[in-house]
């Protein structure tokens, strides 16, 4: 029996050894599949297996696998969705304001136009700081597109990047953008009801999807569920008020901790207030991995379509070069302290190049 299998990706065929990782085999044969983390977390390398079988790399979306985790076990026909090319663009921070306690809106001006789909994210490297991944969003007044890229970022205690917002990182700061990444983007031309759930700053990609979906089809049925731990974390209330006026849009604000000062504000978790699903529904979930996992089971039971972007915790930054080696040696002889910075600053919940912070 042959040890090799025929793999076809968007019409291009190559030979892969049985058991090889799909992404690695494709790249080794000059066939590009968009990817980022290589850990099965970011979703950038999700592909549809149209024919054949893989093992590992399963996702919550039927027929979709993470190419960085899926292994070839038979002849395959694989479909990769057409997404904007990944590029690196210099940029500058031109706006920074606090939306709520520890939640900021940033306005980024790229030196040249960037192309992305609503729901995708970029890797941002502010000068002097490590890379972090944040989702592009629309402004809270519903404006999407244009030259500016809007971000919603939560300040994380001890975070290398977010703790510098408003101090070291302020208007005029230089940075670079790499991307876009991610597969939890709005598919154009859809007609089914959209269920859009975002916890914390996971609302950022959800808001981008909401605005674009309404621009594409003003009458499309949409349910927006926005969650936060407490009332002060519902920084998006202005945005929710805009779309709540539309007859085809249902808005469900949720906080973990009560009591509720408003009749329309629900108490509990997002999954507690998910409407009854139908197979024709399309569900997007962004934010807490716990919330994403809880919704995934409900969506699967209903036979609906699911796309998700879990904001996972980032590990500490690794020390680099000779200084990093000296710090590592020093760390083996004494307890690390926050003053050390980098890998000795304790776990960070900021969104790194590979992970996304819990909302």
Which pLDDT tens digit goes with each residue over 231-263? 999 999 999 999 999 999 999 999 998 788 888
**Which of 129, 55, 100 lies closest to 239, judged by CA?**
100
Distance from chain centroid for Cα 264: 28
For 114, half-sphere exposure in the C-beta direction (CA atoms, 13 angstrom radius) is 28
> What would the pLDDT profile of 34-89 be if each residue is shown by its tens digit?
888 888 877 889 899 999 999 999 887 778 899 999 999 999 999 998 899 999 99
Please check whether residue 213 is in contact with residue 138, taking contact to mean a CB–CB distance below 8 angstroms.
no
Adjacent-strand bridge partners of 192? none
Phi, psi of 131 (to 5 degrees): -70, 145
Dist CA 318 CA 344 (whole Å): 9
Domains present along the chain, CATH in parentheses: 4-79 (3.10.20.30), 87-182+335-344 (2.40.30.10), 194-310 (3.40.50.80)
Q: What is the mean pLDDT of the chain?
A: 86
CA quadruple 255, 260, 266, 272: dihedral, nearest 10: 60
Q: pTM above 0.85?
A: no
| DSSP secondary structure of 14-62 | EEEETT-BHHHHHHHTT-----S-SSSSS-TTEEEEEES-EES-B-SST
Distance from chain centroid for Cα 116: 13
Determine the 3-state secondary structure of 80 from DSSP. Answer: coil
> What would the pLDDT profile of 79-100 be if each residue is shown by its tens digit?
998 899 999 999 999 999 999 9
Tally of CB atoms within 10 A around 350: 25
Dist CA 82 CA 34 (whole Å): 10
């Amino acid at each position: 029996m042959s040890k090799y299998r025929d793999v076809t990706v968007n019409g291009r065929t190559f030979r892969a050894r049985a058991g090889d990782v799909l992404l690695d085999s494709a790249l080794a044969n000059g066939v590009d599949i968009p990817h980022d983390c290589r850990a099965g977390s970011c979703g950038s390398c999700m592909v549809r297996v149209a024919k054949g079988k893989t093992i590992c790399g399963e996702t919550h979306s039927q027929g979709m696998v993470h190419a960085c985790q899926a292994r070839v076990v038979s002849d395959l026909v694989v479909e990769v969705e057409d997404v904007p090319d990944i590029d690196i663009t210099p940029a500058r921070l031109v706006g920074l304001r606090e939306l709520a306690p520890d939640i900021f809106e940033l306005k980024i001006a790229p030196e040249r136009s960037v192309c992305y789909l609503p729901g995708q994210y970029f890797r941002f490297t502010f000068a002097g700081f490590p890379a972090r991944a944040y989702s592009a969003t629309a402004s809270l007044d519903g404006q999407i597109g244009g030259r500016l890229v809007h971000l919603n970022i939560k300040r994380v205690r001890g975070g290398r990047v977010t703790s510098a917002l408003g101090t070291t990182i302020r208007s005029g700061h230089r940075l670079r953008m790499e991307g876009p990444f991610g597969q939890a983007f709005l598919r154009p031309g859809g007609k089914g009801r959209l269920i859009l759930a975002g916890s914390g700053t996971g609302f950022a990609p959800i808001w981008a999807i909401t605005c674009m979906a309404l621009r594409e089809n003003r009458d499309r049925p949409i349910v927006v569920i926005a969650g936060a731990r407490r009332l002060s974390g519902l920084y998006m209330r202005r945005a929710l008020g805009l779309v709540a006026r539309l007859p085809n849009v249902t808005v469900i604000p949720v906080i973990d901790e009560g009591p509720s000062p408003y009749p329309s504000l629900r108490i509990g978790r997002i999954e507690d207030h998910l409407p009854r699903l139908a197979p024709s529904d399309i569900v997007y979930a962004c934010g807490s991995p716990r919330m994403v996992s809880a919704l995934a089971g409900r969506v699967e039971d209903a036979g609906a379509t699911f796309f998700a972007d879990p904001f996972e915790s980032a590990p500490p930054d690794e020390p680099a070069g000779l200084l990093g080696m000296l710090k590592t040696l020093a760390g083996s002889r004494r307890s690390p302290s926050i003053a050390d910075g980098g890998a000795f600053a304790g776990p960070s919940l900021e969104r790194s190049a590979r992970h996304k912070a819990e909302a």
